[in-house]
Structure 1
Amino acid sequence: MESKPYYAVIFTSTRTGGDNGYSEMALEMENLAKDQPGYLGMESAREEIGITISYWESLEAIGAWKRHTDHLVAQKKGIRDWYSKYHVRICRVEREYVFSK
């Protein structure tokens, strides 16, 4: 990750049934996010709930991504077709610890 502090956007969600184009859009959004100024990385997991954490240099970078035209389309489709519930948290990362063998 970048030098601290940086920001984490934590997106947790519960999906509706069926794919309905979700997988394709998720991959498209991941690739598009990587090209955005201030993007630092992403981690995600999905079982009963989905958790995606994206990392950003600044609140301004997060705001620009939220307002990106293609991302706005994906957000609307998410509300209409893919999610029965979601929750977004934006956190400032002051420090981190890593363990690796």
Structure 2
Amino acid sequence: MSKMAQTPQPPYYAVIFTSERTEGDRGYGTMADKMVELASAQPGFLGVESSSRDEDGLGITVSYWESLDAIKNWKEHSLHRVAQDTGKSTWYSRYRLRVCKVERDSFFEM
């Protein structure tokens, strides 16, 4: 089974979350799993791809959404807000969030 998200034909949207973590887990792993589970149940969610953190602690997660409204609704979800606030106060030394419109994609599989 592929770890790549199965997305529809464009256009759709990608939210790219790049982060550097602070030391220690402090509940991060449990919350990250919960956020993927919760996001997956949201209207307009299309999929998610996440990399392992590199040796410098950089991690990248890309979630895919049908619309900007779906992204906005996810951003405002009450439990997601708790995760955002805890991320700022506890889990991340810094992060960057980018929202992009996907206008073209291609796929290769051997």
- Bucket of the pairwise TM-score, normalised by the shorter protein: over 0.9
Count of matched residue pairs? 101
Deviation (angstroms), 1:28: 0.3
Counterpart pick for 1:20 among 10, 17, 26: 26
Calculate the TM-score normalised by the size of structure 1: 0.98
Q: Distance in 1 between matches of 2:49 and 2:85?
A: 22
Letter matched to residue 88 of structure 2 = I
Secondary structure at 2:26 match in 1: coil
Secondary structure at 1:40 match in 2: strand
Letter matched to residue 80 of structure 2 = H
Structure 2 gaps of 5+ residues are: 1-6
Structure 1 gaps of 5+ residues are: none
Q: Distance in 2 between matches of 1:99 and 1:93?
A: 17
Partner of residue 50, structure 1 = 59
Partner of residue 67, structure 1 = 76
Q: Distance in 2 between matches of 1:3 and 1:64?
A: 22
Aligned-residue RMSD, C-alpha: 0.6
Poorly superposed stretches of 4+, deviation over 2 Å: none
Q: Distance in 2 between matches of 1:89 and 1:33?
A: 17
Q: Distance in 2 between matches of 1:85 and 1:2?
A: 31
